Amino acid sequence: AVAYFQATGKRVLLDALCRYADYIDTVFGTAPGKKRGYPGHEEIELALVKLYRVTGEKRYLHLSQYFIDERGRQPHYFDIEARLRGEDPAAFQHKIYEYNQSHLPVREQREVVGHAVRAMYLYSAMADLARELHDQSLFDADQRLWNHLCTTRLYITGGLGPSRHNEGFTADYDLPNETAYAETCAAIGLVFWNHRMLQLDCEARYADMLERALYNCVLSGVSLDGQKFFYENPLASLGAHHRQEWFWVACCPPNIARLLASLGEYIYAVNDKDLVVHLYIQSTAQMTVGGREVTVRQETIYPWDGTITLRLGMDEPSMFGLRLRIPGWCRNAQLKVNGDAFDIASHLEQGYVRVERVWQADDRVELELAMPVERMYAHPNVRQDAGCVVLQRGPLVYCLEGADNKVPLHRIVVPRTAELASHFGPDVLGGVTVVSGNALAEEDTDWTGTLYRSWPASLQPGAITAIPYYAWDNRQPGEMRVWLREGGS
Amino acid sequence: AVAYFQATGKRVLLDALCRYADYIDTVFGTAPGKKRGYPGHEEIELALVKLYRVTGEKRYLHLSQYFIDERGRQPHYFDIEARLRGEDPAAFQHKIYEYNQSHLPVREQREVVGHAVRAMYLYSAMADLARELHDQSLFDADQRLWNHLCTTRLYITGGLGPSRHNEGFTADYDLPNETAYAETCAAIGLVFWNHRMLQLDCEARYADMLERALYNCVLSGVSLDGQKFFYENPLASLGAHHRQEWFWVACCPPNIARLLASLGEYIYAVNDKDLVVHLYIQSTAQMTVGGREVTVRQETIYPWDGTITLRLGMDEPSMFGLRLRIPGWCRNAQLKVNGDAFDIASHLEQGYVRVERVWQADDRVELELAMPVERMYAHPNVRQDAGCVVLQRGPLVYCLEGADNKVPLHRIVVPRTAELASHFGPDVLGGVTVVSGNALAEEDTDWTGTLYRSWPASLQPGAITAIPYYAWDNRQPGEMRVWLREGGS
């Protein structure tokens, strides 16, 4: 309803939605006669903030605040509700209230748990309320949860929630690859949450995580032709996992469509003093900075290379800060303003280089982000990735696919010293940068008649070709693998 | 009933059992009015052969033969039976008849499939019938199935059936370690089957597999104090898998008790011309070879070392062949007969050294099986064991346990060139030979604040101590791991 109103200016859906929200407000709350309930699947909380923002009606904000504040309090509402239905609360099908993050009041939660999509929507709403209500305690809780997620429970693809069982989180450092659930909607929720964290605090690490999810686990959720979708985004496949046209619970396809259609919202941000560039995506935007209209034209083929040119447009010169994100994956960035080198290191604020000056029309800013192929490793507590390496270039995580490589892929060993090159393949998967190099593969030609023997398989040299993870399963069915075995030399 | 009769000579249970078998014989069979059925869980087939052997009643043998011959024929009896119950055959809870090996007539089966215990009991009965009926087609089928199992679907511990879902087999080379089901009863069934294969053909590979299962997956099924049991025998554990006192479906505890109580049957075999030693276990046995009584006294502390002394006893000199198994794991065996070296290589028949001579009382045969610590590797198609090594000594597979080693165990890397030593630890786990050596372990002290980074964890040297797999989970709870990561150097 909010999106329809914003896109068309028509209130018909919005008015209906307001009546519905008003009704919900008559049922739930702390006032006498109301139920002290809240949803099992968080989502309305962030929606009510959206509704407040377009209508200006504070009661929607307060209803959202009520749901967030009430969540996880004792006596537990879901226990009460179960007894009212004549059920034993212990018979709850998901066993524990961690499943829907109602095990504790939200400000006391320190670990990301349970159903991953629900968690992302909850944390997003907490960030929304932290911003609208200037509630530092909600932001503090969100920061603790964010740190827990990104240091213990996040796939390198930005996927999250490894278990199909609860569609969610398991234990710290438990990140299985073949069986990774990593629902597309959870990665989309991670984009939502980090976007809101960025609005609270312009720290590049939030944009880094947003970008990691966006270019990997979110984008893998849809086929290159836009016709098929992944619900689950494993990091390895034996060849039987494929995108589907639709799902019984069809959240992911419209969610990804909505995200891609609204991508423009994520690229830039403004406040009174600054114009911020979070993402590098070819685009043109008009914004108001300190009361003045500014146009930004961004020219780039990012993520295929790291050269970005920004051209500013405005009616008259204007003093403001231009903040450009220096991505966490980038070790070497160069900046020029109207052709003159600008020292990034001495102007870096929370991962963003800030160029403050009187800008004028046709000012040109050139950012050069070095984008070599990087080897990435997982924390040694992640047993599923032990001895393995991921190839990454810029924000893109790469994978091997059977279509390009000799299978089985687990037989391939990438020497630590192997040189890896990248080149743009205009005819590959609609045009992607491909990573290639020399590796080794275990031979089995001399291994017959037994499953075990006292000397290992011999290794034969061979070439490997890696493609961006998001683009896998767009050719003939086959194996896929993100974490590659690494050899000593 | 058969065992009770054999142990006590009392027929009370046996007679009751015969009446029951007679009744079954009136219900099932090819004669008009009988049902063309057979069991969903194979077991009666081998039991009927046992009953035939003690009673001499051919009808029990023929009933067993009927069950084996009828199995898997079309129209499929389970389809017919389901329709008679008013059910849709497609609603079969295990989906496919591979589950109980009734997907094909047994002589057409070429792959070990389905529920592992059922499979072992079926193949055992097929071997029994092949022997009793001189049915080469059943032996041929068993040999094909045996080859398929041991080249594609057997754990190095002799465990089999990786999936909890069907308590059985999955796909070729699919041998997950943490989630290995590898039911104790399936390994016991493997002992049964290989014992029967040995009776058909005295090939050491059958005894090798029997021994592998016996000393590893079977023995791990019971705690050192005999009080607790594993149903499942995974090859890696994070520390939550423990033996239980009993199970809802309590097949494993009595099955292992029965096997250990009847272990004597597996050590020796005789025929008219030969006395065969399959297993090296301190023991004394009286046997009849070529009509003459022979006593064998076997002295050894096997499997702790490979020195075996056999002393023969008999009333008068007797010509026969003494066959001693040279285990497949042994690369260097020495034999002495009454102190004189005997050339094994030129007297090796199907993995057994055969010493034919006129034996007399007090003849002494000394076998020396070199038993160094061996590194074992899995076929490169086994993705779960890629880059990993197993330490093995003699018939024993070793594992690391948290009680002896720094955890997490997945961080430990055993260099390919690391020297590994063994010593007997009389106070360790009731007295076992322990394997120790120097290895490397990934450090995480410098890895904070992030789950992924662009350089790998550093490796620190440290000692490892490995214990026999069967003895794990007899101390404080903790991690366990059979397949260890191997480093290049």
pLDDT of residue A325: 98
| B179/chain A closest Cα distance in angstroms | 12
- Kindly state the percentage of chain A with pLDDT values over 70: 100
Is A251 known to be catalytic? yes
pLDDT at B277 over 70: yes
pLDDT at A252 over 90: no
Mean pLDDT of A133-151: 98
Q: Do B447 and A379 touch (CB under 8 A)?
A: yes
Of B151, B443, B452, the CB nearest to A450: B151
B453 and chain A in contact, CB less than 8 A: yes
Taking residue A411's Cβ as centre, other Cβ atoms within 10 Å add up to: 23
**Rounded Cα gap, residues A307 and A336, in angstroms:** 11
CB B358 within 8 A of CB B317: yes
**What are the beta bridge partners of residue B462?**
B439
Of B376, B453, B487, the CB nearest to A452: B376
Using CB atoms within 10 Å of the CB of residue B223, give its burial: 0 to 12 exposed, 13 to 18 middle, 19+ buried. middle
**Rounded Cα gap, residues A114 and A454, in angstroms:** 44
Longest Cα separation, chain B: 81
pLDDT of residue A322: 98
pLDDT of residue B256: 93
| B379/chain A closest Cα distance in angstroms | 5
DSSP states along A148-190: HIIIIIB-TTS-B--BTTTTB--STT---STT----HHHHHHH
Can you list the positions of beta strands (E) in A305-351?
A: 307-313, 318-325, 333-337, 340-342, 348-349
Domain ranges of chain B: 2-262, 269-369, 373-487
Q: Would you put residue B307 in left (φ > 0), alpha (ψ -120 to 50) or beta? A: beta
Gap between the terminal Cα atoms of chain B: 58
Residues in contact with B287: Cβ distance below 8 Å, sequence separation at least 6, in sequence order: B268, B270, B275, B293, B294, B295, B296
Mean pLDDT of A333-357: 98
Angle made by CA atoms A425, A428, A429, in degrees to the nearest 5: 135
Selection from B346, B344, B288, B343 nearest residue B318 by Cα: B288
Q: Where does the pLDDT of residue A248 fall: very low under 50, low under 70, confident under 90, or very high at 90 and above?
A: confident
A375 and chain B in contact, CB less than 8 A: yes
Taking residue B24's Cβ as centre, other Cβ atoms within 10 Å add up to: 16
Q: Which two tokens stand for residue A270?
A: 């403004």
**What are the beta bridge partners of residue A485?**
A388, A413
Q: Do B444 and A382 touch (CB under 8 A)?
A: no
Mean pLDDT of A392-418: 96
Q: Do B451 and A485 touch (CB under 8 A)?
A: no
Selection from B273, B139, B101, B126 nearest residue B192 by Cα: B126
Q: Do B444 and A486 touch (CB under 8 A)?
A: no
**Rounded Cα gap, residues A424 and A392, in angstroms:** 15
Q: Do B454 and A382 touch (CB under 8 A)?
A: no
Choices 2.30.30, 2.60.40, 2.60.120, 3.40.50: CATH for A269-369: 2.60.40
Chain A contact set for B152 (CB, 8 A): 451
pLDDT at A489 over 70: no
B239 and chain A in contact, CB less than 8 A: no
Q: Which two tokens stand for residue B422?
A: 């063994």
| CB burial string B87-109: b at 16+ within 10 A, e below | eeeeebeeeebbbbbbbbebbeb
A485 and chain B in contact, CB less than 8 A: yes
- Kindly state the percentage of chain A with pLDDT values over 90: 96
pLDDT at B242 over 60: yes
Q: Where does the pLDDT of residue A145 fall: very low under 50, low under 70, confident under 90, or very high at 90 and above?
A: very high
Q: Which residue has the higher pLDDT, B117 or A291?
A: B117
Q: pLDDT tens-digit profile of B436-456?
A: 999 999 999 999 999 999 999
* CA dihedral sign of residues B182, B185, B188, B193: negative
Catalytic residue among A42, A98, A167, A479: A167
The half-sphere exposure of B307 on its side-chain side, counting CA atoms within 13 A, is 1
pLDDT of residue A407: 82
Gap between the terminal Cα atoms of chain A: 58
A445 and chain B in contact, CB less than 8 A: no
A209: phi then psi, degrees, rounded to nearest 5:
-70, -40
Chain A contact set for B386 (CB, 8 A): 410-411, 442, 485
pLDDT at A250 over 90: no
Q: Which two tokens stand for residue B455?
A: 């350089």
**Rounded Cα gap, residues A464 and A300, in angstroms:** 28
Selection from B481, B346, B334, B336 nearest residue B409 by Cα: B481
Q: Do A383 and B408 touch (CB under 8 A)?
A: yes
pLDDT of residue A488: 65
3-state secondary structure of B195: helix
Of A150, A377, A451, the CB nearest to B154: A451
- Kindly state the percentage of chain B with pLDDT values over 90: 96
Is B251 known to be catalytic? yes
A33 and chain B in contact, CB less than 8 A: no
Residues in contact with A454: Cβ distance below 8 Å, sequence separation at least 6, in sequence order: B374, B375, B376, B377
Interface test with B, best of A390, A451, A481 (most B CBs within 10 A): A451
B395: phi then psi, degrees, rounded to nearest 5:
-85, -5
Mean pLDDT of A343-362: 97
Q: Do A375 and B454 touch (CB under 8 A)?
A: yes
User: In the predicted model, what is the mean pLDDT of chain A?
Assistant: 96
pLDDT at B489 over 60: no
DSSP states along B68-89: HHHTT-SS-HHHHHHHHTT--G
pLDDT of residue A249: 85
Q: Where does the pLDDT of residue A406 fall: very low under 50, low under 70, confident under 90, or very high at 90 and above?
A: confident
Q: Which two tokens stand for residue A103?
A: 């095990």
Mean pLDDT of A149-164: 98
C-alpha distances (whole Å) from A50 to each of A17, A64, A132, A255, B375 are: 12, 10, 11, 16, 62
pLDDT at B286 over 90: yes
pLDDT of residue B272: 87
Q: pLDDT tens-digit profile of A88-123?
A: 999 998 989 999 999 999 999 999 999 999 999 999
Q: Where does the pLDDT of residue B271 fall: very low under 50, low under 70, confident under 90, or very high at 90 and above?
A: confident
Q: Where does the pLDDT of residue B366 fall: very low under 50, low under 70, confident under 90, or very high at 90 and above?
A: very high
Chain B contact set for A381 (CB, 8 A): 408, 411, 444
Q: Which two tokens stand for residue B465?
A: 């101590």
Chain A contact set for B442 (CB, 8 A): 380, 386
CB B353 within 8 A of CB B334: no
Mean pLDDT of B94-119: 97
Selection from A147, A215, A149, A153 nearest residue A181 by Cα: A153
Longest Cα separation, chain A: 81
